[in-house]
């Protein structure tokens, strides 16, 4: 998954557990990239990943609109 990118957010080429901002990533870019990574890991390994981050500044659910 290294190098997988959504907007300005990218899975680090050095360590796949990190997401980097390569340009002007928006919260929705990071969230969508996280969703895609979680889905691919689940589909491949049947493992559910859990985030170690806390979303701040969003009421209710994560950002879903571009």
The pair of three-digit structure tokens given for residue 30, joined into one six-digit string: 């990071």
* CA–CA dist 3, 27 (Å, integer): 18
User: Alpha-carbon distance 15 to 46, whole Å?
Assistant: 21
Q: Structural domains in the chain?
A: 1-66 (3.90.78.10)
Q: What is the pLDDT of residues 22-53, one digit of tens each?
A: 989 998 899 899 999 999 999 999 999 988 88
- Phi first, then psi, for residue 11 (nearest 5°) are -70, 130
Q: DSSP character for 21? A: E
Give the tens place of pLDDT for each residue, 15-26.
999 999 998 999
């Amino acid at each position: 998954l290294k190098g997988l990118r959504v907007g300005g957010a990218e899975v680090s080429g050095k360590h796949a557990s990190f997401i980097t901002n390569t340009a002007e990533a928006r919260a929705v870019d990071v969230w969508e990239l996280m969703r895609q990574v979680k889905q691919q890991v689940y589909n491949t390994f049947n493992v559910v990943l859990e985030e170690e981050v806390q979303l701040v500044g969003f009421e209710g659910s994560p950002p879903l609109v571009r």
